[in-house]
Amino acid sequence: MSKICFNVIIAGGKGTRFWPLSRAHRPKQTLKLLGRNSLIRETAERVYPLAGRKQTLVVTIADQLSLLRRELPGVPRSNFIAEPQGKNTAPCIGLAALEVMRRDPEAVMIVLPADHWVADVGAFRKTLKSAVQLAAGTDQLITIGIKPDYPETGYGYIMKNRAIGSKLDAAFVVKRFVEKPTLSAAQRLIRQHGLWNSGIFIWKASTLLTALRRYQPEIYQSLEKINKAAAAYSLTSSAPRLRKIIADVYRGMANLSIDYAVMEKAGAEGKVLTLEGQFGWSDVGSWAAVHRMMPKDRNGNASQSRWLGLDTNNCLIHAPNRLVVLLGVQSTVIVDTPDALLVADLERSQEVREVVETLNRERLNSYTT
């Protein structure tokens, strides 16, 4: 890359949507849901060529620090930033921006959730390279919009305005962000050339901090406090004095997503650009999404396990240790683990999150941790 840039992998998810495979101590990004490696490792290897391993930062919560270091042995230990607790993406990305600024005040950062799936890695990198070039020369915020394959209701949408730049490498000014729609709304958004909001962002660290100061002065002030306290350290230091200050600041930190805290507001002022990505993408948001991306037999069943089906269609079977037999079962996900078994309507696999909440509430949290 001609410009200095950093990969920033945000990896603080708690892992409830993939229960019983995911647990509090085995979050989604560490699972091998698709492909041979964990999602975070696939994500990291996808972007190493963009900024290099040494300029790849990982932001996570303290609980997951050693787990993720083991998953990404190629990333220097001093590149892992630990939040004392999860406060959604705005504080997390702000913290990463501080660290990037300290390393290079001019640098561009590529913000990537740890748990996405991409089909065409070459096309993905090409789009991000264009975005980095664009970001280096502007004070606008850049987001990757994905050309939709179908009217997904689990994603937010980006509605774009006029194009800027050349036809081949076009960026668009964002008109507005739309939250997760109903099915009919999603169909309408697609007809209006809306894009899926990927949650992948590219901007100069300084640009993001300026936006936070403008739209979220409280978060910005909290970050300033941390930055001041860390003057003698790296933000990734484990020095107890620094950790304590960060923990104190985080307790009072607002819990806000970057979309709500910054993107929607900046978008309303015409300060967000979007680049169209066409590389086969998913945020791997549920078992249904995993089913959609896995290879399937002629009855629509997906599995890497030993199983037998009679009159069984559109199922996902994850059962590495036992034989599964399905008889007359339709659109169902079966996930088999040593202590717990899930059988769920595939179309309702988003609700697995509520299952975990129920288990925790009913003091069955030995099954969720």
Residue 219, both tokens: 């978060």
Does 327 participate in binding a second copy (rule CB under 8 A)?
Answer: yes
First to last CA, the chain: 41
Q: Near a second copy by CB under 8 A, which window of 40-48, 126-134, 244-252, 356-364?
A: 356-364
Does 357 participate in binding a second copy (rule CB under 8 A)?
Answer: no
Three-state SS for 211? helix
The 41-80 site mask, x for binding a second copy (CB under 8 A), equals ----------------------------------------
- Shortest Å distance, C-beta 354 to a second copy: 7
The 143-182 site mask, x for binding a second copy (CB under 8 A), equals ----------------------------------------
- The correct pick among 179, 304, 345, 369 for binding a second copy (CB under 8 A) is 345
Radius of gyration of the chain (CA): 21
Whether the CB-CB separation of 259 and 156 falls below 8 Å is answered with: yes
46 membership: H or E segment, kind and range: helix 39-51
Question: Closer to a second copy at the Cβ: 17 or 175?
Answer: 17
Question: Closer to a second copy at the Cβ: 20 or 267?
Answer: 20
In b/e form, how buried is each residue of 13-45, taking b as 16+ CB within 10 angstroms? bbbbbbbbbbbbeebbbbbebeeeebbbbbbbe
The 289-308 site mask, x for binding a second copy (CB under 8 A), equals -------------------x
Cβ within 8 Å of residue 172, ≥6 positions away: 145, 160, 161, 162, 163, 164, 273, 274, 275, 276
Which DSSP string do the residues of 160-215 spell out, in sequence order? EEEEES-STT-EEEEEEEE-S--HHHHHHHHHTT-EEEEEEEEEEHHHHHHHHHHH
Residue recorded with tokens 């819990």: 255
Does 106 participate in binding a second copy (rule CB under 8 A)?
Answer: no
Q: Near a second copy by CB under 8 A, which window of 23-31, 89-97, 181-189, 346-354?
A: 346-354
- Shortest Å distance, C-beta 343 to a second copy: 5
Does 332 participate in binding a second copy (rule CB under 8 A)?
Answer: yes
Does 344 participate in binding a second copy (rule CB under 8 A)?
Answer: yes
Residues in binding contact with a second copy, number by CB under 8 A:
37
What does the alpha-carbon distance between residue 199 and residue 112 come to, in Å, rounded to a whole number? 7
Binding site for a second copy (CB under 8 A): 19-20, 308, 310-311, 319, 322-329, 332, 334, 336, 338-345, 347-349, 351-352, 354-355, 358-359, 362, 364, 367
